[in-house]
A = this chain, B = another copy of it.
Amino acid sequence: MSDNTAAIEEIRELLGDRLSTGSSIREIHSRDEAYSTPSLPDAVAFPETTEEVSQIMRICTKHKCPVVPYGVGTSLEGHIVPIHGGISIDTSRMNQILEVHAEDLDAVVQPGVTREQLNEDLRATGLMFTVDPGANATLGGMAATRASGTNAVRYGTMRENVLALEVVLADGTVIETGTRARKSSAGYDLTHLFVGSEGTLGIITKLTVRLYGQPEHIAAATCAFPTIDDAVNTVILAIQTGLPMARIELLDELQMKGMNTYNPDMNMAEKPYLFLEFHGSPAGVEEQVASFRDIAEEFGVQDFEWASKTEDRNRLWAARHSAYYAGKSLRPGAEGVVTDVCVPISELAECIRGTQEDIAASGLIAPLVGHVGDGNFHLLILVDPESDDELKRAKELAHNVCRRALASGGTVTGEHGVGTGKMRYMEEEHGPAYAVMAQLKKSLDPNNLMNPGKMVQVN
Question: Which A residues have a C-beta under 8 Å from some C-beta of B?
Answer: 101-106, 145-148, 152, 157, 159-160, 169, 173-177, 179-190, 192-193, 195-197, 201, 212-213, 236, 239-242, 280-281, 283-284, 287, 340, 342-346, 374-376, 405, 409-418, 422, 425-426, 429-437, 439-444, 455-456
Contact = CB atoms under 8 A, between A and B. Distances in A.
A105 to B, nearest CB: 7
29 contacts: A103-B345, A104-B344, A105-B239, A175-B432, A175-B436, A179-B410, A180-B409, A181-B342, A181-B344, A181-B376, A181-B409, A181-B410, A182-B375, A183-B376, A183-B415, A184-B411, A185-B411, A185-B416, A186-B422, A188-B201, A188-B455, A189-B192, A189-B193, A189-B196, A190-B437, A213-B241, A436-B444, A439-B443, A442-B443
Given A104-B345, A429-B186, A436-B190, A411 B175 contact: no
Contact of A440 (B105, B182, B343, B440): B440
B212 A242 contact: yes
Contacts of A426: 186-187
Copies of this protein in the assembly total 2
Given A196-B185, A283-B287, A418-B186, A175 B413 contact: no
A419 to B, nearest CB: 10
Most buried by B among A152, A181, A422, A434: A181
A245 to B, nearest CB: 14
Given A189-B159, A346-B104, A413-B184, A432 B173 contact: yes
- Max chain B C-beta neighbours (<10 A), residue from A374, A440, A442: A440
Contacts of A152: 183
| A-B complex: 7 closest residue pairs judged by Cβ atoms | A192-B192, A443-B443, A213-B242, A184-B411, A175-B433, A103-B346, A181-B342
